[in-house]
Amino acid sequence: MDGSLKNALFSCALLLLCFSTTGRAASCSSYSFSNNKVYSTCTDLSVLNSFLYWSYDPSAGTADIAFRVTGVSTSNWVAWAINPTGSGMLGAQALVAFQNSSGAMHAYTSSVQSYATTLSSSSLSFSVSSLSAEMSGSQMMIFATVQLPDNKTSVNQVWQVGPVSSDSPQAHAQSGDNLKSAGSVNFLSGVVVSSGGAGSRQRKKNVHGVLNAVSWGTLMPIGVMIARYMKVFKAADPAWFYLHITCQTSAYIVGVAGWATGLKLGSDSHGIVYHAHRNIGISLFCLATLQVFALLLRPKKDHKYRFYWNVYHHSIGYTVIVLSIVNIFKGLDILTLPRSGRGHTLASLYF
């Protein structure tokens, strides 16, 4: 390859880099607001065609912000929020806007205290002034001056887009980019990080499901089969017993970890209760704990109470197996609910 061709290719690559960089910058910094408002910093948010503009006043601890979303229509609502207590939806202090049936823009505040919120109007935990909204073509914008909580310059943010029906915000999509619209923003340095709080919650669900599938769905049945089919062979005694105890003890330990993650998910999911799955899980934990303590009270083979102990041990054991299978399938059904939207609380989640 001669020098002139190399130079030509280098020049083309340099031009492409410049154009791509300019294109990214133009997405927010080259935009001019109709009110001639100018902001000192702007950023392209990672999803939902959204952009955030702000000017930070360190002496007052306030941020003059503009939130812009493109590719929306008059049948959409948009929202941007600061979450002073968490990284996702719950606790988010939101600025919401949509165009009502009269054609006027409606901008208001909404404090999200439940996953079943309908984004009703309510005051926030910090002050907001000069709140307004504007619709321009396929773009919707929210303007406000926000008093940053505790004068913090770095805060967790959430943003969202959803449909409007009868002048009321409806549930947004429960998949794709709508589950990734979370992160943090530093109003002083301009650093923006995207995290996706809903994705983190989904990972916790997956961990909960895997732990319980390994415990109740795998180790526990294997331990039962070892006791049921190996002890008939004299050569396997007492090896079968120690294998049985190892499997059941391991299943219980892993099951306790899965139960704990379920409790954590429940405490983080206000307004969402899977009654059958929760009640069966509590029953499983209690029955399995009784089985563990029963090991300490196990009579010798020739003891007069050994027969009654065997009845108790087998009854509780098989009950645990049946309940665990039922609850695993209920858990798998729950994991598919956000995508299928089958008539459950998850299908009516907002923000």
- What domains lie within the chain, and their CATH numbers? 28-195 (2.60.40.1210), 199-348 (1.20.120.1770)
- Structural contact between residues 296 and 342, judged by C-beta atoms closer than 8 angstroms: no
- Whether pTM > 0.85 for this model: the answer is no
84-105 per-position pLDDT tens digit: 987 777 888 999 999 999 999 9
277-319 per-position pLDDT tens digit: 888 988 988 998 988 888 888 888 888 888 888 898 889 989 9
- Mean of the pLDDT values across residues 36-59? 92
244 is in an annotated binding site: yes
303 is in an annotated binding site: no
190-225 per-position pLDDT tens digit: 888 876 545 556 677 888 888 988 998 899 899 889
Q: Cα–Cα distances in Å, from 185 out to 78, 81, 87, 114, 282?
A: 18, 11, 11, 23, 40
208 is in an annotated binding site: yes
DSSP 60-123: TTEEEEEEEEES--TTEEEEEEEESS-SSSTT-EEEEEEE-TTS-EEEEEEE--STT-------
106 is in an annotated binding site: no
